[in-house]
Amino acid sequence: MTDSVLAGIQSFCPTPESVPPPAPLYRLKHPEGLSVHIHPLNPLDFVLRAAQIYPDNLALAHPDVESPVYYTYAVWAQRIQNLAYALIQAGVQPGDRVAIIAPNSSMRALTPHYLPDAHHGALAARAIVTPINTRLTRPEVEYILDHSGAKIILVDYEFVHLVQGAKARVVVSKDTGRPGDPYEEFLSSGRRFSQEKGWQGLQAESNEDAGACLCYTSGTTGRPKGVLTTLRSSYLAAVANAFETRMNPDSTYLWILPMFHAAGWTYPWAITFAFATQITLRTVSYPHIWNHLLNSGVTHYCGAPTVQIGLVNAPEARNLDHPVSAIIAGSAPTAHLIGELEKRGIQPVHTLGPFTRNYFQPSWRQLSHDERSKMRARQGHSFATAQEARVVYAAAEDNGVPSGELRDVPKDGKTIGEVVTRGNIDPEATRRAFEGNHFHSGDLAVWHPDGSIAIVDRSKDIIISGGENASSLAIEQELAEHPDVLEVSVVARPHPKWGERPMAFVVLRSEAIQRWARKHAEFAANLKQHARGRLPGFACPEWVEVVPELPKTSTGKILKTQLRKLVAKL
Amino acid sequence: MTDSVLAGIQSFCPTPESVPPPAPLYRLKHPEGLSVHIHPLNPLDFVLRAAQIYPDNLALAHPDVESPVYYTYAVWAQRIQNLAYALIQAGVQPGDRVAIIAPNSSMRALTPHYLPDAHHGALAARAIVTPINTRLTRPEVEYILDHSGAKIILVDYEFVHLVQGAKARVVVSKDTGRPGDPYEEFLSSGRRFSQEKGWQGLQAESNEDAGACLCYTSGTTGRPKGVLTTLRSSYLAAVANAFETRMNPDSTYLWILPMFHAAGWTYPWAITFAFATQITLRTVSYPHIWNHLLNSGVTHYCGAPTVQIGLVNAPEARNLDHPVSAIIAGSAPTAHLIGELEKRGIQPVHTLGPFTRNYFQPSWRQLSHDERSKMRARQGHSFATAQEARVVYAAAEDNGVPSGELRDVPKDGKTIGEVVTRGNIDPEATRRAFEGNHFHSGDLAVWHPDGSIAIVDRSKDIIISGGENASSLAIEQELAEHPDVLEVSVVARPHPKWGERPMAFVVLRSEAIQRWARKHAEFAANLKQHARGRLPGFACPEWVEVVPELPKTSTGKILKTQLRKLVAKL
């Protein structure tokens, strides 16, 4: 912890209603009729255990704002209880949706301190938390509010315009944690409503397959699509994440990943399961991030590859003197990025949701840094508590695989198929996604002889060049090795002879911008030369465009759809 | 690993049938009709993942025997598959019991290498593993075989006499892992029977509440009682154990605890979940244990307090230069023992089954070594994946608690009640044990203001002295601090005036035996003097008897019933 954080903890005073009564009982009302040896899995249990076992440990710090807040597990649990009662008082019934609209900056993630509250408070009211991406337009937000049937909306003061005219009740947070803040008044009303019945006044959910979190896709095409996780799937994924990343009561997690992104990859609960501390930031910038990595004892953070690229290339980047685990998911990282993180002392934990993880092999210790980075960039094997991830042929008449049947591709490191899995995962509401009773990820991958999976592309991003399948990801991996390339994205562009050819959009490193100024054609030739030594002819980029930045979704995924629109106009 | 183990690994050659085919598929046949987002929890999954992800890692070493064996995860998984097919070929049906009788020495634990096989192979055949304690008499073993309805018995060559005349088929193991050993022939027949259908020829269990392991109590009174764990409870407890003890692929677990003791505390599966290595020993002696602690990279072991006492007091004991976690459960350890372990560099992880764990508190760092040991000797709080453990009044008319109702004792560190819990635990087949829809442990405890539980006694071991409840455990804790006491057990002895008074049975440390020879009355006076400064008068031992050893169950619990019989004759 920095000195200013320590001073903040000393001087901060939670609202009176956030302070628990003496000797609180962390016990929900048991549902009737349950067999004694079954306890329905529910990630709400974690915060009750944390408050009981480590009441004075710092649960949540929100330091870099005008009104910083610091909550111990005892205080935070009381606030969660207050929120649950406030929701019930507001008419929220079991199964109802509680929407939450929290800001994110132009960069991407921005987490006000009250966002983790909702992931627990809604569950304590047996409701479903529905975090909404604020990058969406007002009509999109309206669609989600309508589609989810949200009973109540918790909204940040900066985003009230998105919910004007909403039918549901709106509670605004000024992100202060101080009396007078409407969100604080809401919590306090919950405390009064509870009449000190405490946790015993709240019923435990008896059905572990009840909903936990309803997230919507960031919708690159069409309407946002809702994905509902269950209490059981959230519980098992959170436990697996805490285990796989070795979190413990001494760990500190920094919120860089937006919490509205796939239930924050279940970290709102994984952190609590491990009794760790979480730091939320209202302004997520690289100077802030590096300040915390260097000075706040941060041990864990999550981020999509594009965030990690910015992070290792920020001017504030330094070599770390304590171990930090960076969980990478969301899209496939390049081997180059993995290597750069390691050089800073950051250990990449590379996952594909709670489906697969790259497991470090003892034999990799003999490899060169570059070779090892390539191995670590593979998506690997099935995750703890998950079932086997497979790579299968697309069902199609021309390859003889009937619809509904799954056939594995050979484990040859070459044949491209789609990643499918099954198990305690999120039931997604599309028929296509469940063909053959497996969840179809839409990720194209090869299967290596050691059983590890390596994604080569999203199914819609593959480039068919002269009849060959060129993986845009493989091309990006090689172009990212060029010393002047900060970030690169490759899409298909129509070609009269070859059908399609790869076109690369490149963001230069800051130190290279000046050097190549007004010499982009020269740079393009230089990059193509670089590619020719590393890629087959059909995969070499035919065109290279230098751009100041790449279009991205609010979760940091590169918007290839927008690049394709640019290409279409060429 | 010692040099001899490394040499052993190099030179060992598994039977041809233990070698998997090229590119094996670690996938069971999916049951029909399961929803895509549910995967029934089953600890068998762990070994399939381990063999897929770390095929060449050492899964199991059995080094200190004439015929040592060393199995990688790939080979071990194949042997488990072979066992499953051999069981099916022998007529084992889903739900059937597979008994296993493996030896244990006069000390206590003795694990032949094939015992972990059964915990996985039986599950792969959808059967229930039933490990039988070999310390039991032949009629007791016969009773268990009959009561469990075992379809097949895997028995060690040293214990064939226990199963002579058994109705079920008997397969003898010579614990060699070499061709010609009947157990190996059994596995090989399974491989041939499978016709290389592999894991796909075995059906996954669709019901996670199906049985996993049927253990019998060591029966200090009456018939042994059976306790059946489910696949779900075993899965969740194993994951929690791996998380709580921070096991990972670099960990090495040493089998000191007998595997027939409460499903080996679920470690047969926890080790595999963490991709760790396990070492089994046929001769469990302190020289062997210390050799492995010092030279084999052992990081984890489990043991009841009495085993741990022997371990820290063995002449071979040294200070360790690498971290080792000692999981202590089975009965309550003394603070003295906790302190002695820490001095050797062994970190105690003190649990009460997968119900409670002592969670180290940051504030304890300020305490003296002795004070900290006392805090660590408490049983603590609810375990990961478990639900709250409570301390409740006994239901009885004289304290106004109606039968079937649970009422918490105050958290004052004084009031004695019984530990109860509920959740994903083992359904035990007694009515009393489930009063108020909670599992009654039979452990008497106080509840401290910080919510941690400290066991004061087994309910039958409390001493009522002059109307006061004296905790035999609290008395033992203090007497164990005497520098000449190795081990001590305290029971009630009738007293004409006070009703009952404590009597202490003491084993002296080896270096003190000579000094007090023929001066036991002097020692008794010395020990009573020691007690008077530390215990209230009613809790001071009225009688002290020096004995060469204490009577114990095969799982290392002190048999107070036998001490009481001695007392009755006085």
pLDDT at A428 over 70: no
Q: Residue A425 is nearest to which of B34, B37, B54, comparing CB atoms?
A: B37
Considering only CB atoms, which chain A residues are within 8 Å of B38? Answer: 209, 423-424
C-beta atoms of A54 and B273 within 8 A: no
At A106, the pLDDT band (50, 70, 90 cuts) reads: very low
| Alpha carbons A557 and B426: distance in angstroms, whole number | 46
| A194 vs A1: which has the higher pLDDT | A194
Please indicate, yes or no, whether residues A454 and A558 belong to a single structural domain of this protein. Answer: no
Considering only CB atoms, which chain A residues are within 8 Å of B434? Answer: 36
Please indicate, yes or no, whether residues A148 and A219 belong to a single structural domain of this protein. Answer: yes
Q: Residue B36 is nearest to which of A209, A230, A434, comparing CB atoms?
A: A434
User: Pick from A434, A460, A486: which residue ends a domain?
Assistant: A460
Average pLDDT over residues B452-457: 84
Residue B517 lies in a domain: yes
Residue A258 lies in a domain: yes
pLDDT at B427 over 60: no
- For B424, counting Cβ atoms within 10 Å of its Cβ (0-12 exposed, 13-18 middle, 19+ buried), the class is buried
CA of A383: which chain B residue's CA is closest? B49
Chain A CB within 8 Å of residue B359 CB: yes
pLDDT of residue B563: 92
Show Cβ contacts of residue B520 under 8 Å, excluding neighbours closer than 6 positions. Answer: B544, B545, B546
Please indicate, yes or no, whether residues A163 and A143 belong to a single structural domain of this protein. Answer: yes
CB B421 within 8 Å of CB B386:
yes
pLDDT of residue B396: 65
CB atoms under 10 Å from CB of B533, counted, come to 8
Q: Residue A49 is nearest to which of B382, B422, B450, comparing CB atoms?
A: B382
| B23 vs A439: which has the higher pLDDT | B23
Average pLDDT over residues A535-562: 87
Residue A172 lies in a domain: yes
Considering only CB atoms, which chain B residues are within 8 Å of A53? Answer: 359, 380-382, 451
Q: How far is B40 from chain A (nearest CA, A)?
A: 8
pLDDT of residue A33: 77
Residue A493 lies in a domain: yes
At B498, the pLDDT band (50, 70, 90 cuts) reads: confident
pLDDT of residue B554: 64
Residue A362 lies in a domain: no
DSSP E strand stretches across B353-452: 356-357, 381-382, 390-392, 417-421, 439-447
At A337, the pLDDT band (50, 70, 90 cuts) reads: very high
In three-state secondary structure terms, B325 is strand
DSSP E strand stretches across A403-467: 417-421, 439-447, 453-458, 463-465
Residue A51 lies in a domain: yes
Please indicate, yes or no, whether residues A69 and A121 belong to a single structural domain of this protein. Answer: yes
Which CATH number covers residue B236?
Answer: 3.40.50.12780
C-beta atoms of A381 and B52 within 8 A: yes
C-beta atoms of A361 and B54 within 8 A: yes
Identify from B252, B388, B424, B428 which residue to disrupt to test chain A contact, counting A C-beta atoms within 10 A and taking the largest count. B388
Radius of gyration from C-alpha coordinates of chain B: 24
pLDDT of residue B112: 66
| B261 vs A464: which has the higher pLDDT | A464
Please indicate, yes or no, whether residues B407 and B483 belong to a single structural domain of this protein. Answer: no
Rounded to whole angstroms, what are the CA distances from A46 to A43, A73, A242, A382?
Answer: 6, 11, 12, 25
Please indicate, yes or no, whether residues B176 and B102 belong to a single structural domain of this protein. Answer: yes
Residue A141 lies in a domain: yes
- Tally of CA atoms within 13 A in the half-sphere of A505 that contains its CB: 21
Which CATH number covers residue A472?
Answer: 3.30.300.30
pLDDT of residue B254: 94
| A426 vs A120: which has the higher pLDDT | A120
Reading the block at residue B388, the tokens are 């709250």
Conformational region of residue A418, where left means phi above 0, alpha means psi within -120 to 50, and beta covers everything else: beta
Please indicate, yes or no, whether residues B416 and B488 belong to a single structural domain of this protein. Answer: no
Residue B153 lies in a domain: yes
C-beta atoms of B427 and A387 within 8 A: no
Chain B CB within 8 Å of residue A193 CB: no
Please indicate, yes or no, whether residues B443 and B532 belong to a single structural domain of this protein. Answer: no
C-beta atoms of B427 and A39 within 8 A: no
Q: How far is A293 from chain B (nearest CA, A)?
A: 22
Q: How far is A451 from chain B (nearest CA, A)?
A: 7
CA of B246: which chain A residue's CA is closest? A246
Considering only CB atoms, which chain A residues are within 8 Å of B35? Answer: 427
Please indicate, yes or no, whether residues A410 and A532 belong to a single structural domain of this protein. Answer: no
pLDDT digits (tens, 9 = 90+) for A36-89: 777 899 999 999 999 999 999 999 999 888 889 999 999 999 999 999 999 999
Q: Are strands B69-72 and B58-62 parallel, antiparallel or unpaired?
A: antiparallel
Identify from A1, A36, A378, A435 which residue to disrupt to test chain B contact, counting B C-beta atoms within 10 A and taking the largest count. A36
Please indicate, yes or no, whether residues B545 and B423 belong to a single structural domain of this protein. Answer: no
pLDDT at B123 over 80: yes
Tokens 């090989």 locate to B188
Average pLDDT over residues A315-320: 95
Please indicate, yes or no, whether residues B144 and B129 belong to a single structural domain of this protein. Answer: yes
pLDDT digits (tens, 9 = 90+) for A490-531: 999 999 888 899 999 999 999 999 999 999 999 999 999 999
pLDDT of residue A445: 86
- Provide DSSP, B338-358: HHHHHHTTEEEEEEETBTEEP
The pTM score is 0.88
| Alpha carbons B323 and B317: distance in angstroms, whole number | 15
| Domain, as residue range, for B415 | 387-461
pLDDT of residue A270: 96
Q: How far is A141 from chain B (nearest CA, A)?
A: 28
Chain A CB within 8 Å of residue B407 CB: no
DSSP, res B141: H
- Provide DSSP, B180-237: T-HHHHHHHHHHHHHTT-GGGGSBPPS-TTSEEEEEE---SSSS--EEEEEHHHHHHH
Chain B CB within 8 Å of residue A243 CB: yes
User: Pick from A460, A486, A515: which residue ends a domain?
Assistant: A460
Please indicate, yes or no, whether residues B402 and B282 belong to a single structural domain of this protein. Answer: no
pLDDT of residue A433: 59
- Provide DSSP, A455-509: EEEEGGG-EEETTEEE-HHHHHHHHTTSTTEEEEEEEEEEETTTEEEEEEEEEEP
- Counting the structural domains of chain B, the total is 3
C-beta atoms of B26 and A233 within 8 A: no
Which CATH number covers residue A395?
Answer: 2.30.38.10
Chain A CB within 8 Å of residue B207 CB: no
User: Pick from B413, B432, B461: which residue ends a domain?
Assistant: B461
